[in-house]
Structure 1
Amino acid sequence: MQWEGISEFVNVAENESFTLAAKKMQISTAQVSRQVSALEKRLNIKLFYRTTRKVSLTDEGRVFYHHCRSVLDGLVAAERAVTNLQSKPQGKIKLTAPVTYGEKQILPLLNNFMKQYADVEVTAYLSNLKIDLVEEGYDLAIRLGKLSDSSMMAKKLAERTNYVCASPAYLNTYGTAHSIAELNKHSCLLGTLDYWHFKEAGKEKNVRVTGKLRYNSGYGLTDAALKGLGIVQLPDYYVEQHIRSGKLVSLLDNYRANDEGIWAVYPQNRHLSPKIRLLVDYLAEHLV
């Protein structure tokens, strides 16, 4: 029997909600729904009654739930027993992460992790390219923002906030942008994209911006903003410390887009070994 979808099914049954189940499992609601639907199709039975207000088990779903709950409890006990045997995780871990975020956030935590678990060997490859984890033999990847690859499993580690900001010197000279529409009157410091992300009237919105400067470096854009060359949109780990110190001023806060997820992604058919699960949990605990 295939095991895909069992954990998602049990969590939906216990929370009576796909959304709450996804939050508890730290995966997307769409992923939970997809797994449960595939499970129903495989079993050829309807497990839930779904309405806009409530999710409840069918008679068949109730019977199936009690069996699955017992099985999952047994698996937890089995994993705990194996983990206890290997109290010191050991072996190789191969992961990939985006270059700047990897350098600033992930690698220092990996160093701390390896100090704590001396028998673990880590290979980390930093790249902004989307790497095929299965083909290249990676255990996991750290990815930022919206996930597009539905063939992968994912656990949310943290979130990041994108700020629009500029230096006091720039604002004193050119004035403050009070609305998204006013950005076209300002010098915008561009990254790899021609647009910035906002939220207006409850809806996400991409706004095209222009400027005389374009870098594929968050550090370079931060420095340009600090030196008064224009307005920039960057994640919190570039600019938050400068906003706190007053060297940069946060703008258009009412239009700020929703925080974006920071994810640990791994192949769907690859169960996490204790050492990988320990690393993922460690990152989730220490990333801020």
Structure 2
Amino acid sequence: MNDFNTLELHTDPRGFATLWLSREQKNNAFNAEMIQELIVALDKVQSDGTLRFLLLRGRGKHFSAGADLAWMQQSAELDYNTNLDDARHLAELMYNLAKLKIPTLAVVQGAAYGGALGLISACDMAIGAEDAQFCLSEVRIGLAPAVISPFVVQAIGERAARRYALTAERFSGLRARELGLLAECYPLAELEQQIAHWVDNLLLNSPQAMRACKDLLREVSHGAPTPAIRRYCENAIARIRVSPEGQEGLRAFLQKRTPRWQTDTSTQEPRS
């Protein structure tokens, strides 16, 4: 599963995948190749029905330093239509990540600048180190965080997005937690241990129910509870109650036993 130059995609036999940004010598900075490989990797994850959730991580000291300087220099020499194609590829990546059918958890250490904030914001959840550094740095170099802006605004709110996009201030993991960008943050030395706790917790949950929750929350998060939303929610709970995992979960609860999805884990070696 690891046919990439800028990434690593590994699967765990318990039923989840880890997608690593792997340009450590460039602090995992984005370029056109990485963006295209991320699109391909997410397609692979989306088509793998055995996966319960996805971790998104960066190799080395930093999650991602944002855009690669050499790539940015090339972009400055391109015409409008070619830059538009580049923007469309980045948008495809962000929207595909946001719409992935399984839960996504970003893990952040070190720097997370520019487009990296878009990746983090497009994930369902994110955790990180207390001393991680975040920055919407685009205005410092005469640009704007255009493609990532819908996801950043959704993650931290319009008011905070205005502040950090207009000032290009850096902020810490602790501040990112206050803003809601991170669900939790930890001392860097404890981060791996905490990741294991998050993984263990997610593995307790019904894979089907987590996917249904993603669909449900996406549907109801864009406005008032209209009659159409009410009908959608009624149908959603009815469908999941009669589904195999819904039935198994209810029976396991009533019979005071462990549901099968907590015990049905593969014994195969991790795939890469």
TM class by smaller structure: under 0.3
Larger radius of gyration: 1
Give the TM-score normalised by the residue count of structure 2: 0.22
More helix by share: 2
Give the TM-score normalised by the residue count of structure 1: 0.21
